[in-house]
Amino acid sequence: MAERAIDRGAEILVFPEMFITGFCYNLAPEESPYPLLEPFMTLVQRRSCLIIGSLMSGKYNMGFCLGSDGIQFQPKIHPFDKEKQHFLGGDRISPMKTKWGKVALEICYDLRFPEVARSLALQGADFLVTIGQFPASRREHWRVLCLARAMENQLPHLACNWANAGGSLIVDARGQVHAEAGQGDEVIIGEVDLADRDRWRKEIFYLSERRPELY
């Protein structure tokens, strides 16, 4: 699927939360040099792309950006339900610098906490990425929250949910949906237009009008 997406022009490939193993807690967590990622390490070197996902790493559900220049990490901040028995919540929130821009990565349940995306936006993130395993029963929540995170932070948003529930989205900084997946395995393609984000922010820039002294 990654190869097909690259053949169609994709440079940033976003996969769902725990896309390699699922939540198989009986598996040993990955440690450096991350053997499960070896095929993807080969792919980014060969095709000059960026791969975003998460995996079990130590005591964390660890989000990652993997490019030809190496790998960067952002842990999930809010473990959900049974995850708390196996994972700690991350203790840092920061964008990851890549040649495509500063990536703001949040993982699944983090989407319900607007402070995560807002913190990343205030740190100069260029676009937001959310990877998840939201269930089909809460797919409407997923969609509304993905749109809200894009609009309230004026950031393009790449939101990838697991195929079982579907609903992956590519949203621009104005909150317009450019691509949306159904259920089942699917590749959607869209453009992260930072120039349009900047034009929109020149019209009105919410972040500059915040009043944090009151809230």
Q: Looking at residue 145, which CATH number applies to its domain?
A: 3.60.110.10
Tens digit of each residue's pLDDT (9 = 90 or more) over 166-177: 999 999 999 999
Q: In whole angstroms, how far apart are CA 137 and each of 49, 107, 143, 163, 166? A: 33, 18, 12, 13, 11
Burial-class residue 136 by CB neighbours within 10 Å (0-12, 13-18, 19+).
middle
pTM: predicted TM-score of the whole model, two decimal places: 0.96
pLDDT at 141: 98
Based on the structure, what is the number of domains in the chain? 1
Tens digit of each residue's pLDDT (9 = 90 or more) over 33-91: 999 999 999 999 999 999 999 999 999 999 999 999 999 999 999 999 999 999 999 99
As a whole number, mean pLDDT of residues 185-206 equals: 97
Domain annotation covers residue 204: yes
Domain annotation covers residue 214: no
Q: Residue 66 is part of which domain span?
A: 2-209
Q: Are 128 and 104 contacting, i.e. CB atoms less than 8 angstroms apart?
A: yes
Domain annotation covers residue 215: no
pLDDT band at 206 (very low <50, low <70, confident <90, very high): very high
Domain annotation covers residue 189: yes
Average pLDDT, rounded, for the chain: 97
pLDDT at 178: 98
pLDDT at 172: 98
As a whole number, mean pLDDT of residues 123-136 equals: 98
pLDDT band at 135 (very low <50, low <70, confident <90, very high): very high
pLDDT at 160: 98
Domain annotation covers residue 99: yes
